[in-house]
Each structure stands twice: as C-alpha cells, then as structure tokens.
C-alpha cells in the first residue's frame, strides 16, 4: 500500500521555507510527516499531508514546484530492535533504502517510518508478505 | 624605430584613399570572379565590378554577415584554391558550429606586419621578449601575436594560455618584456604577482591586451600591478585576427590598418553610412586579403571613428573601444557566448521544453563571473537531492562543452526571473564595461 509524498523545491532564500509551510497551512492542509534535505544551493522538502492535491494547488499558487512520489509508511513496534527487524527484511531481499524519516503515529505502541527504497514495489511486497503493517492512505 | 611601415602608417589621407580605391576595385573584380555568394549578391543589386570605381562607391556594395560563414562552412567563401591556403583558424559561432577562415602566404605576411606595427608603436624591438599568453591554436590570438613578434625580430615566448604559476616563473626567468593576453588574465596575473611579492623581478614594459571588453579603470590597475603601459588591440578572425586596429603610444583610440581594411560606421537598422564621428555599427572591407576576403562585413560592434591625425604621426583612422553590440552576444572570459547556445542546451535537458533562464555576468576581483539561473520545473524535480544535483551538473557540463566555459548553474523558483512585458530579461551584465 503506497501513500503520496510531495517533494518540494525550496530555493535557498531567506523565508522560503516559512512561506511554503504557511501556504499549506492556510489552505487547511495538515502535515503528517516532514523531512528536509539540503545542499548549499537549494533544499528538497518532503512532506506527507492529509490532502496531497490541495497542498499541491496551494503551492502552485505561490509559484512553488512540487512533485508527488509513491512511498510506503511502515508501522514499527515502538521498542528496541523494532526498526532493525524491518530493515533486516529489506536487506535480506537485497533492496536498498534511499531515505527514511519518522512519522507521527496515532497508534499507541507503534512508530511510523516513511521508507523510500530503490525498488518500492518489491519493498512493499516483501514487507506485506512478512506481515508488516503499512499505513493506508485513508488513515492520513 | 618609430614605425614598422612608415610609408603606409603615415601616408597622407589623399594618397591613402587613392591606394584604397585601387585595392578595392581590384578586390571587387577578383571576388566577383571567385566567390559565388558575392557574385550573386552583386547581381541581385544589378551591380558589376565595372560600377565600382573607388572608395566613393563602397556604400553601393552588398553587406556580408556572420551567417554567411556558417552557410558556406567550411571553405565555401574562400577565394583561392585550398592549395594556396597555408593556415586556417576558427572561432565559435552562435549555434555551436564554428566558423573557419583561411590565409594565404601573403595574408599571413600582411597579418604579421599589422601586429608588428603595434609592437613597434608600443616600443618593442628586436631585443624584446614577447610573452604570448593567448591560446596558440585555432583561436587567432596566439598565432597573431607570435607571428608579429617574429616579424620584428623579437624573441617570441609562445607559452599559450593557462597555468599561472608557470606563466609567472617563465616571465621572470625568460625576461619577458611585452605581455600579450586577455585583459582579465593580465589582471589575474598582476594580482598573483603582487601576492607573491614578485613585482620587482619582472622585466615587463608593455602589455597588449584584447579579445574581450575592458575598462579604463582596469587599464589603470593592470598598469599599476604589472608596472607597465597597457595597450588595447582589436581584431576578429573574420577580418584577420588581432591587429586589425591597435593603440599607439598615446593610447587615444585604435588605429585601423587602413591600407588593408576599410572601416565604415553604419546605422545597424537602415544600413545607411553615418558621417564621421557618429556612433554606429562597425563594418569592414578587406582590400588586400586573398584567401578569405570579405566586403562590408557587419561586425556587430558599436563604435565611432576619428579621422583626425594622431599625435603619433599615423594618419590611419582611430576607432574607439566598442561600446556594445547590435546582437546579444556576450564576451565572457574572452569567449563569445550567445543566449541561443544556452537555450539549446536547456532544451535538451528540459525534455523538449526550454526552462526559463537568465544569464548573470559580473566582474569580481577583475574576473568574469558567469551564472546561469534556471527556473525549476516538475520535469527537473525529483524527490531526492541527488537527482536535482544531477540535473544541475548535467546542465553545467553541457554548457561547458558547448560554450567552452563553465557557468555556475543555479536552480531558482518558477516565475522568479524578472519579466518585462511578458518577456523574460535574459541577460544581466553587471560588469559596467562601457
């Protein structure tokens, strides 16, 4: 099960990030997870929101480029070794992780991680087959 | 010695005009016979060589354009068999396709003489060491300076461009007295020499700098840093190369070698010849060139001409430093850059859509900075930094291989590039060179 992630181009300019977050906020979009990757010249802001289309049009309006990508969000037991057991499944299937970031979970005792693998389809299959719960887009 | 070819350099105007007329008439005859494009253009205007009696008829002749060199690439405009062409040179054009020019033995002699005139004018002689820091290759700069140095019997040091440490070491060890390179490189050499505290070890007396625009302020700084007098030289490969015109010891405009090249100033829009002293587009007619002659070639440089006889005694007309261009060509670090070249590269990278872009040129510490800002689009975006950095790198590398110089590529927000009346402002040149 995939969820939509928005990748947003953030020009390296004072106040840029604030303007982007503000535009989404004003349109009533709720940000569920976020990660910021940066270089000296620009940044890429990745967000998971409750309404991708609404977020995208809000960004369009202020002239910010965003692109939707499919990712998976994995439920992990909120205990020592929880993440390791998930990564072991992925690694054993010879899948590489490109990036990960944490997600606010509404379930007690569970953590959520967004996981982008070099082969998302296989990662999803391997995890599902091993009984790992993935976040359903409806839960956003 | 004060002049290299006193007879020509100081020829009274009336005599000079007579010589120009004879040479023009002969050149038109020869080109009508040998160069198809010229013959066709003459025929279109209903002209034959018999209609051209002297320089008073020059304005009747058809113009020639840079595009002609591309259309007839490589040898279509040459006026002699290739067996008589001793050397070719080339320079970059707007579309990445280079233009080619050729020289016969006589052409090379003439070119060496023109450069020799300048060397003598700036005080060089057979005891000089001429440090040729222009690239020796298809670019006309290096060989032009080299042949001129050899012609006056000086010692040529054909070091070519680049490798600053070695340039400086060579300058000191070999005792270079005349430096030939681009003004921005001279500036850089000067700064490096100053930092290394080696100014006292130099034997330099004069510098001959051209191939890119520079200011009086730069001249002052170069003169101070290298403890020399800095002279301006003008040329273009289509006409010959460096030495078409040059400054004399009085540094008050560049003398055009008028016994070989007739300059005109025209209104770039109407093609009308403008009166002496007016500013307009510079046009050249080569009246002695054999291999690759051109009639009324539109240089696209904007300048004016001063016919007053110079204090140096030379009667040849002086052109001022070009004040701009009629097209959108930029000269960055001595390299010709056209926005259309950048567009083509971006078109390929952008997946058949040209992203909006802007070229920003500046001069920081006397070196040209070159930035290309590209508006971001969904096609260029990916979810990772690596992907976007790869786009940046691809654009940089493609531009470098197309233009010959690498810009700094900056990805910016869509619609962030200034537009006026719907049209994006493509070029921001902050160098204040004119």
Whether A44 sits inside 8 A of B378 (CB atoms) is no
Whether B411 sits inside 8 A of A67 (CB atoms) is no
Which residue, A24, A49, A69, sits at the end of a domain? A69
Task: Please give the mean pLDDT across all residues of chain A.
Answer: 91
- Are A33 and A76 within one domain? no
Query: Helix, strand, coil shares of chain A as percentages rounded to 5?
Result: 30, 40, 30
B410 touches chain A (CB under 8 A): yes
Spatial contact of A6 and A129, defined as CB atoms under 8 Å apart: no
Domain assignment of residue A41, given as a range:
3-69
The CATH number linked to B155 is 3.40.50.12780
Domain assignment of residue B222, given as a range:
6-325
B392 touches chain A (CB under 8 A): yes
pLDDT for the residue B91: 84
- Are A81 and A117 within one domain? yes
In terms of Cα–Cα distance, which of B351, B354, B329, B333 is closest to B400? B333
Residue B434 resides in a domain: no
pLDDT for the residue B324: 79
What mean pLDDT is predicted for residues A31-53? 91
- Are B388 and B302 within one domain? no
On chain A, the residues whose CB falls within 8 A of the CB of B418 are: none
Spatial contact of B338 and B97, defined as CB atoms under 8 Å apart: no
Q: What is the DSSP letter of B273?
A: B
pLDDT for the residue B353: 64
Spatial contact of A93 and A76, defined as CB atoms under 8 Å apart: no
On chain A, the residues whose CB falls within 8 A of the CB of B407 are: none
Among B381, B389, B411, select the one facing A67 at the smallest CB separation. B381
Instruction: Report the C-alpha gap between B338 and B95 in whole angstroms.
Output: 8
Which residue, B276, B300, B325, sits at the end of a domain? B325
Instruction: Report the C-alpha gap between B93 and B66 in whole angstroms.
Output: 8
- Are A33 and A88 within one domain? no
- Are B355 and B236 within one domain? no
Nearest CA in chain B to A12: B412
- Are A63 and A81 within one domain? no
pLDDT above 50 (res A10): yes
pLDDT for the residue B423: 56
- Are B226 and B350 within one domain? no
Q: Which residues of B44-80 are buried (b: 16+ CB within 10 A; e: fewer)?
A: eeebebeebeebeebeebbebebebbbebebeebbbb
CA B82 to chain centre: 25
Among A5, A44, A64, select the one facing B385 at the smallest CB separation. A44
- Are A83 and A59 within one domain? no
pLDDT for the residue B183: 87
What mean pLDDT is predicted for residues A101-110? 84
Among A9, A37, A38, select the one facing B381 at the smallest CB separation. A9
Residue A93 dihedral angles phi and psi, to the nearest 5° = -85, 10
Whether A63 sits inside 8 A of B385 (CB atoms) is no
Burial category of B227 from C-beta neighbours within 10 Å (exposed 0-12, middle 13-18, buried 19 and up): middle
The CATH number linked to A105 is 3.30.70.260
- Are B299 and B374 within one domain? no
- Looking at per-residue pLDDT, the higher value among A101 and A139 belongs to A101
- Are A91 and A124 within one domain? yes
Q: What is the pLDDT along chain B (434 residues), one digit of tens a residue?
A: 799 999 999 999 999 999 999 999 999 999 999 999 999 999 999 999 999 999 999 999 999 999 899 899 999 999 999 999 999 999 865 455 689 999 999 999 999 999 999 999 999 999 999 999 999 999 999 999 999 999 999 999 999 988 899 999 999 999 999 999 988 889 889 989 999 999 999 999 999 999 877 888 889 989 999 999 999 999 999 999 999 999 999 999 999 999 999 999 999 989 999 999 999 999 999 999 999 999 999 999 999 999 999 999 999 999 998 887 888 788 888 788 888 788 878 877 766 566 788 999 998 887 889 999 998 888 888 888 888 898 899 999 999 988 888 899 999 888 787 765 555 678 888 887 65
Instruction: Report the C-alpha gap between B230 and B314 in whole angstroms.
Output: 19
Interface test with A, best of B413, B414, B419 (most A CBs within 10 A): B413
What mean pLDDT is predicted for residues A125-134? 93
Neighbours of B145 (CB within 10 A): 31
On chain A, the residues whose CB falls within 8 A of the CB of B392 are: 41
**Whole-model pTM?**
0.71
Instruction: Report the C-alpha gap between B34 and B294 in whole angstroms.
Output: 12
In terms of Cα–Cα distance, which of A109, A115, A7 is closest to A66? A7
- Are B309 and B368 within one domain? no
pLDDT for the residue B356: 80
The CATH number linked to B356 is 3.30.300.30
| Span A50-105, pLDDT tens digits | 999 999 999 999 989 999 999 999 999 988 999 999 999 999 999 999 999 988 77
Residue B148 resides in a domain: yes
Total count of domains within chain B: 2
pLDDT for the residue B93: 53
Q: Which residues of A58-87 are buried (b: 16+ CB within 10 A; e: fewer)?
A: bbeeeebbbbebebbbbbbeeeeebbeebb
Which residue, B325, B355, B383, sits at the end of a domain? B325
Spatial contact of B178 and B124, defined as CB atoms under 8 Å apart: yes
Total count of domains within chain A: 2
| Span B8-58, pLDDT tens digits | 999 999 999 999 999 999 999 999 999 999 999 999 999 999 999 999 999
- Are A34 and A75 within one domain? no
A46 touches chain B (CB under 8 A): yes
How many CB pairs below 8 Å do chains A and B form together? Answer: 54
- Are A48 and A84 within one domain? no
On chain B, the residues whose CB falls within 8 A of the CB of A116 are: 383
In terms of Cα–Cα distance, which of B201, B205, B204, B207 is closest to B219? B207
pLDDT for the residue B94: 47
| Span B55-73, pLDDT tens digits | 999 999 999 999 899 899 9
What's the full length of chain A, in residues?
140
What mean pLDDT is predicted for residues A5-17? 92
Spatial contact of B89 and B139, defined as CB atoms under 8 Å apart: yes
Which residue, B293, B325, B357, sits at the end of a domain? B325
């Amino acid at each position: 099960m995939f969820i939509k992630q928005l990748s947003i181009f953030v020009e390296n300019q004072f106040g840029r990030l604030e303007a982007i977050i503000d535009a989404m906020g004003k349109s009533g979009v709720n940000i569920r997870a976020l990660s910021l990757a940066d270089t000296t010249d620009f940044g890429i802001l990745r967000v998971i929101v409750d309404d991708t289309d609404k977020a995208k049009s809000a960004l369009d309006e202020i002239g910010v480029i965003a692109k939707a990508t499919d990712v998976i969000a994995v439920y992990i037991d909120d205990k020592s070794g929880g993440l390791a057991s998930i990564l072991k499944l992925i690694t054993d299937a010879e899948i590489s992780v490109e990036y990960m970031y944490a997600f606010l979970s509404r379930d007690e005792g569970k953590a959520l991680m967004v996981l982008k693998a070099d082969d998302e389809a296989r990662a999803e299959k391997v995890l599902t087959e091993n009984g790992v719960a993935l976040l359903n887009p409806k839960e956003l | 010695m004060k002049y290299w070819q006193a007879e020509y350099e100081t020829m009274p105007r009336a005599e000079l005009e007579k010589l120009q007329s004879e040479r023009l008439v002969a050149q038109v005859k020869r080109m009508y016979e040998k160069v198809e494009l010229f013959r066709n253009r003459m025929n279109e205007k209903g002209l034959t060589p018999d209609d051209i009696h002297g320089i008073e008829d020059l304005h009747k002749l058809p113009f020639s354009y840079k595009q002609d060199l591309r259309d007839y690439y490589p040898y279509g405009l040459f006026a002699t068999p290739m067996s008589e062409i001793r050397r070719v040179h080339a320079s970059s054009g707007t579309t990445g396709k280079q233009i080619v020019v050729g020289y016969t033995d006589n052409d090379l002699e003439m070119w060496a003489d023109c450069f020799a005139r300048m060397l003598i004018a700036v005080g060089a002689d057979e005891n000089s060491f001429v440090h040729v820091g222009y690239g020796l290759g298809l670019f006309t700069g290096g060989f032009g300076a080299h042949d001129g140095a050899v012609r006056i019997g000086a010692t040529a040091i054909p070091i070519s461009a680049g490798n600053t440490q070695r340039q400086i070491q060579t300058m000191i060890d070999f005792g270079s007295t005349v430096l030939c390179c681009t003004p921005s490189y001279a500036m850089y050499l000067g700064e490096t020499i100053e930092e290394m505290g080696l100014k006292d070890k130099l034997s330099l007396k004069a510098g001959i700098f051209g191939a890119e625009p520079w200011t009086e302020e730069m001249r002052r700084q170069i003169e101070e840093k290298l403890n020399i007098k800095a002279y301006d030289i003008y040329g273009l490969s289509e006409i010959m190369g460096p030495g078409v015109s040059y400054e004399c010891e009085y540094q008050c405009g560049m003398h055009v070698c008028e016994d070989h090249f007739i300059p005109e100033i025209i209104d770039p829009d109407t093609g009308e010849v403008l009166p002496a002293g007016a500013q307009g587009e510079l046009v050249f007619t080569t009246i002695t060139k054999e291999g690759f002659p051109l009639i009324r070639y539109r240089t696209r440089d904007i300048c004016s001409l001063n016919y007053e006889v110079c204090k140096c005694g030379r009667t040849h007309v002086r052109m001022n430093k070009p004040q701009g261009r009629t097209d959108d060509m930029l000269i960055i670090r001595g390299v010709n850059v056209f926005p259309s070249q950048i567009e083509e590269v971006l078109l390929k990278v952008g997946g058949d859509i040209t992203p909006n872009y802007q070229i920003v040129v500046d001069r920081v510490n006397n070196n040209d900075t070159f930035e290309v800002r590209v508006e971001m689009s969904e096609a260029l975006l990916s979810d990772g930094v690596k992907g976007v950095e790869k786009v940046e790198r691809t654009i940089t590398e493609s531009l470098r291989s197309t233009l010959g110089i690498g810009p700094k590529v900056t990805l910016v927000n869509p619609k962030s590039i200034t537009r006026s009346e719907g049209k994006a402002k493509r070029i921001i040149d902050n160098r204040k060179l004119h």
